[in-house]
Amino acid sequence: MLTSEPLLSLFCAYVEPTARLKQTVSSSSGGGGGCVTPDTLVTLADGSQVRVDSLNGNENLLVWNMETGKLDSAPIMFVDSDPEETFEIVHLYFSDGSDVKVIYEHGFWDYDLNRYVYLDRDAADYIGHSFAKQNGDSLSKVTLSDVVIEKQMTYAYSPVTSGHLCYFVNGMLSMPGGVGGLFNIFDVDPASMTYDLEAMARDIEKYGLFSYEELNAIAPLSEEMFDAAGGAYLKVSIGKGNLTMDELIAMINRYSVFF
């Protein structure tokens, strides 16, 4: 049985951000991940906003906590980036005037589907859907109203927060690209936007959890990376078909450079 102790803390040990940080690193991924443009504003834990290209990786960012159904803060796990080149920009426009410029893909909380969805060059398929935006101490709904795809010479940045992965871009609750299978693992109660604990317990009982030793034997990774990325839950993700073992190994190899 699960206890009332916060669920992620059972499997994700806290690591000091200064110990975790490997500086902001250019991945030279050539499209392997999803990012936002340098002028995108990221919300810090204190509610202030800074450009994503100004982050040094030691900051705490505002996140949505799926255990408590409240805003929370989390340290940056790493900041992925790509060097300047001509990218295809997916410019998302929302009903309240918010807009976000996405490179490759970026995840947003879709109220209609009750999960994060990656918005990419097919983002127009989601026009009319409601997405989550920070509104004081809670979230409100704004509608995706238009999508414009354009080419632009720019840089690409993608922070990832420890334990939660998510953060806010131009006020919109978001997930970084390139980490599909690390989120949307468990069912969420749409009323509270928290994990459905009973369903979560059933999933864990059915599929089990990775130990660090088990996953490390399959694809070598540091304990730091395992803890910060919620590695224990990835056995559930694989069991439910959200992630293949080959995809997980490729992801570990790609992001190990940050650890």
Instruction: Give 176-231 as a DSSP string.
Output: -TT-TTSSS-S-EETTTTEE-HHHHHHHHHHH----HHHHHHHS---HHHHHHTTG
Instruction: Give the residue-averaged pLDDT of 77-95.
Output: 95
Does some domain include residue 162? yes
Query: Percent of the chain scored above 70 by pLDDT?
Result: 87
Residue 127 shares a structural domain with residue 196: no
Residue 70 shares a structural domain with residue 98: yes
Q: Quote the pLDDT of residue 33.
A: 64
Does some domain include residue 103? yes
Q: For strand 25-26 and strand 70-94, is the pairing parallel, antiparallel, or unpaired? A: parallel
Q: Quote the pLDDT of residue 243.
A: 95
Q: For strand 188-189 and strand 194-195, is the pairing parallel, antiparallel, or unpaired? A: antiparallel
Residue 164 shares a structural domain with residue 223: no
Does some domain include residue 9? no
Domain that includes residue 75, residue range: 16-179
Q: Quote the pLDDT of residue 147.
A: 98
Q: Quote the pLDDT of residue 67.
A: 94
Question: What is the rounded distance in angstroms from the CA atom of residue 185 to the CA atom of residue 199?
Answer: 11
Query: Percent of the chain scored above 90 by pLDDT?
Result: 85
- Among residues 160, 179, 198, the one where a domain terminates is 179
Does some domain include residue 67? yes
pLDDT at 6 over 80: no
Q: Quote the pLDDT of residue 21.
A: 34
Q: Compute the C-alpha angle 37/40/46, nearest 5°.
A: 145
Question: What is the rounded distance in angstroms from the CA atom of residue 103 to the CA atom of residue 61?
Answer: 21
pLDDT at 9 over 50: no
Question: What is the rounded distance in angstroms from the CA atom of residue 159 to the CA atom of residue 168?
Answer: 10
Does some domain include residue 118? yes
Q: For strand 35-36 and strand 99-103, is the pairing parallel, antiparallel, or unpaired? A: antiparallel
Residue 151 shares a structural domain with residue 241: no
Give 3-state DSSP helix, strand, coil % of the chain, rounded to 5: 25, 40, 35
pLDDT at 237 over 50: yes
Among the residue ranges 20-24, 45-49, 130-134, 186-190, the one predicted with the least confidence is: 20-24
Does some domain include residue 3? no
Nearest to 226 by CA among 217, 237, 215: 215
Is pLDDT larger for residue 33 or for residue 30? 33
- For residue 30, the domain's CATH number is 2.170.16.10
The residue type found at 177 is G
Q: Quote the pLDDT of residue 34.
A: 78
Q: Quote the pLDDT of residue 14.
A: 29
Instruction: Give the residue-averaged pLDDT of 82-101.
Output: 97
- Among residues 179, 194, 226, the one where a domain terminates is 179
Residue 92 shares a structural domain with residue 216: no
Residue 100 shares a structural domain with residue 66: yes
Residue 36 shares a structural domain with residue 113: yes
Residue 154 shares a structural domain with residue 251: no
Does some domain include residue 6? no
Confidence of residue 31 (pLDDT cuts 50, 70, 90): very low
- Among residues 159, 179, 199, the one where a domain terminates is 179
Does some domain include residue 11? no
Instruction: Give the residue-averaged pLDDT of 32-40.
Output: 86
Residue 112 shares a structural domain with residue 223: no
Residue 112 shares a structural domain with residue 205: no
pLDDT at 32 over 90: no
Residue 223 shares a structural domain with residue 164: no
Residue 106 shares a structural domain with residue 214: no
**Number of domains comprising the chain:** 2
